[in-house]
Structure 1
Amino acid sequence: MKPGDKLPSKRELREIYGTSAQPVDAALFMLRTEGYVEGRQGKGTFVTDKRPY
């Protein structure tokens, strides 16, 4: 994915990867913490244009 791309919803990610909510939430939390994605209230989660390191 490239900067500005929107990630699928949590529900879509669970369906794509055949997993429960907990691993999806953990992965998204890690990606946010490391600066790879950012959440936009009411709009979704997007790939950042910032390099995390």
Structure 2
Amino acid sequence: MTPLPDRTVILALAGTIALVFALVFWTVRLQPTPQAPMLWREAPAPVRAGGTTL
């Protein structure tokens, strides 16, 4: 069995790298935007003089 020509190996490596890059780019682009964390609309609990909350 004869070894592969250099051109074939280089083209196969370039094609593999391009395919991996395309898959990563496609996967990242299809990710939905993350949901914003829930923010409480209530004011924080008042603090007593001793440092405890009501």
Q: TM-score, normalised by structure 1?
A: 0.34
Which structure has the highest helix share of the two? 2
Q: TM-score, normalised by structure 2?
A: 0.34
Highest RCO, 1 vs 2 (Cα 8 Å, sep ≥ 6): 1
Which structure has the highest strand share of the two? 1
